[in-house]
Amino acid sequence: MKYLFFCISVYVFPVLLFSQKQDSIQNRFNSDTVLQGVTVNAFQSNLQWKAVPAAVAIISEKEMNRYSDASMVPVFNTVPGVRMEERSPASYRLSVRGSLLRSPFGVRNVKVYWNDIPLTDAGGNTYINLIDMSELTGAEIIKGPAASVYGANTGGAVLLRSDLNFSDKPVNHFSSGLSGGSFGLFQQQAGWQYAEKNFASSLQQSHSQSDGYRVQSATRKDVIKWQSSLRIKNQQIQFLVFYTDLYYQTPGGLTLAQMQLNPKSARPTAGAIPGSVEQHAAIYNKTLFGAVHHEVKLDDHFAWKSFLVGNHTSFTNPFITNYEKRGEANFGAGSSLVYQTQTLHTRFQWINGAEWLYNHSLISDFGNRSGVADTVQFKDDIFSTEWFAFSQTQFSVNEKWIITAGVSLNNQSYRYKRLTDLNTDYVNKKISMVVTPRIAVLYRISNDVSLYALAAKGFSPPAVAELRPSDGNYYGDLNAEYGWNYESGIKGELFDNRLQFDVAAYYFHLQNAIVRRTNTNGAEYFVNAGGTKQSGIEALLKYQLIKTNTQFITGVNIWSSYSFQPYKFDDYQQSGINYSGNELTGVPRNICISGIDMQTRNGFYFNASINATSSLPLTDANDAFADAYQLVQLKLGYRCAKNDQQFHLFAGVDNLLNQTYSLGNDINAVGKRFYNPATGRNVFAGVQYRF
């Protein structure tokens, strides 16, 4: 209750205080604020944020720069209903209004796109850690099932952006940056951008490395990315190519006693099972990615969009119990036809499209002899194919009512063979075709405030890493999870657009849930086990206290997000034990994040935030809980611009209170090794120059 009281106070107090003072300070504001006129691309709606009948969160480029760019975690966690974790540096996992029951690492049941090109492969996996924060200019997060347009998912979709701008005259920009911090953190970026009237191009390079807070937690990442955009009459062609060489060590989970004794330690040897240091546990990921996106305006009513994408990943993982090598080849294509028309009082849009993804994974497991691949244990060959077709209409009347209805037909199939088993044939598995409808209605109470309600079905088939997990077995009887989401919300802007708010309540009933299990050696596998009831409330508030050009302090914004997630198991059993009614494993009941952003006339700025996260269950039996924590983060910087030159100096501190906490727990871990301690108090500083 203390989290709920704290967040209600944060929301209510500034609204009451500053609404009473509105007349006396109104001349310090104008109607053209940063909160007004925000347009979103989610569901291809191209509507103002407050007119979209969906729970869509927007992360702006300014918000992405609020923290150190060494990690995506604090940025994404400012969004209510979104939880990003980091079991070890660079090892991200992400959930949107969901649990991490099936996500020991990576991203599951959430579809990720970059500039409308899918990063998620046909095997259901997304290597979001291949991206460097400096490459992005923003993101949109669709919360709740979005399968009607984006295919297989139950959690939602993440739409990443890296925008290029055209210029009336040819212009070149060069940029560079250096930063460093505690525990051997070092980052370097360099870039070149060229723009003219119908062509823009960007070439970026980045390097980052760290010794890590814990033993066996060093990281190194090198990225080079080329992006361009070409306009030819009524067409626009975009290219996206990047190569990432990523290496990070994995220190492994600790027991509570081990974490309290020394949170910097790696998983030790336990009997006959060696520790992380002895086995040189780590991840090596080298990925080459290329894609092209084409859009053509056929006439005043029709537009056609399409994409082609291909990538290859070389993945190596020395683990505690084995040494795995994977070669992954991915291809994809998609196309959609958009029709739109309008009259004096109505607007109509109709989109029809399809998307196809293909994955081929060659997986080889060896023994691990102190970080060296030993005898072959087995080799597996897996093919995954995913395709879906969708249709969506959007109809608005008098700019008051906006109705969206969509449906998709989803297909998922696999072929599997163990190459080391002689005289065996490929095993075919096909998920029965699933229809996923969605309908949403929005009513604009005024030009600034909207009410909406929706119902949507989600569908998420097992990922390749779940059909063939780290225990080396193939689980061909694993099936898709699915469920219906019902939601209503209110959002908009008040007080001359200084207050932005977004409040939603939802109920999601997940059935046939895919959940993670571990064997006695700590290797994982997955099963379908009952369901979950995930009802909750989300609230976001942003208030612009000051916006002026005449005072020393030119801008002050306060913001707060709150997530109430009393998720429960439903008809959920394991080994004859019924866990129905227990709290959902790995999900905190309350999360409240609040902050303040300040700017001055001479270029200084200050950002501060506090993340208050409640305790969370670590086992399905709810017999072990991770403690609550309060994470304080600060950043101070200076920006100046003269002629065509820009200079940026910054410094900050993370985990100011030096809390000992785990940001990425191993749920239901054997031996109660639940905890992956996050970095203690640490500092960072850097400089960026653009000319």
Positive or negative, the Cα torsion across 470, 576, 515, 679? negative
pLDDT tens, position by position, 128-164 = 999 998 999 999 999 999 988 998 888 899 999 999 9
690, with CB counted inside 10 A (0-12, 13-18, 19+), is middle
Q: What is the mean pLDDT of residues 404-430?
A: 93
Question: What DSSP line would sit under 545-602, residue for residue?
Answer: EEE-SSSSEEEEEEEEEEEE---EEES-EETTEE-TTSBPTT--SEEEEEEEEEEETT
Q: What is the pLDDT of residues 496-505, one digit of tens each?
A: 999 999 999 9
What pLDDT does 103 receive? 67
Q: What is the pLDDT of residues 273-328, one digit of tens each?
A: 899 999 999 999 999 999 999 999 999 999 999 999 999 999 999 999 899 999 99
Residue 445: pLDDT over 70: yes
Round to whole Å and give the CA distance between 537 and 13: 20
Residues 6+ apart with CB under 8 A from 428: 413, 414, 415
- Phi, psi for 222 (deg, rounded to 5): -125, 130
Q: Provide the residue count of the chain.
A: 691
Question: If residue 417 lies in a helix (H) or strand (E), which one and from where to where?
Answer: strand 401-418
**Distance from first CA to last CA of the chain, Å, rounded?**
51
When the pLDDT of each residue in the chain is averaged and rounded to a whole number, the result is: 90
**CB distance 662 to 674 below 8 Å:** yes
Is the confidence at residue 3, as pLDDT, over 80?
Answer: no
Strand order through the sheet with 156-161: 56-59, 138-143, 156-161, 110-114, 117-118
Q: Which range among 101-110, 228-237, 371-380, 473-482 shows the weakest confidence by mean pLDDT? A: 101-110
pLDDT for position 266: 96
**544-579 per-position pLDDT tens digit:** 999 888 889 999 999 999 999 999 999 888 778 888
3-state secondary structure of 125: coil
Gap between the Cα atoms of 99 and 88, Å rounded: 19
Per-residue pLDDT for 28 more than 50? no
User: Over 80: is that where the pLDDT of 420 sits?
Assistant: yes
Query: pLDDT tens, 156-181?
Result: 999 999 999 999 999 999 999 999 99
H-helix or E-strand spanning residue 308? strand 302-318
CB 668 within 8 Å of CB 516: yes
Q: How far apart are CA 251 and CA 277, in angstroms?
A: 7
Q: What amino acid is encoded at 56 in this protein?
A: V
| pLDDT tens digit sequence for 330-381 | 999 999 999 999 998 999 999 999 999 999 999 999 999 999 999 999 999 9
Q: Which pLDDT tens digit goes with each residue over 597-649?
A: 999 999 999 999 999 999 999 999 999 999 999 999 999 999 999 888 999 99
Rg over CA atoms, the chain: 25
Q: Is residue 491 within a helix (H) or strand (E), and if so which, with residue range?
A: strand 481-494
In this model, does residue 5 exceed pLDDT 60?
Answer: no
**Rounded distance between C-alpha atoms, residue 458 and residue 460, angstroms:** 7
DSSP count for the chain of H helices, then E strands: 8, 39
Burial of 240 (0-12, 13-18, 19+ CB in 10 A): buried
Q: Are 247 and 665 in contact (CB under 8 A)?
A: no
Rounded average pLDDT over 90-95: 88
Predicted local distance difference test score (pLDDT) of residue 79? 96
Confidence band, pLDDT 50/70/90 cuts, at residue 104: low
Distance CA 499, CA 236 (A): 36
Locate tokens 């500053």: which residue? 18
For the stretch 506-546, pLDDT in tens is 999 999 988 877 777 767 788 888 889 999 999 999 999 99
Determine the pLDDT at residue 40: 86
CA proximity to 455, closest of 466, 476, 441: 441
Calculate what percentage of the chain has a pLDDT beyond 90: 74
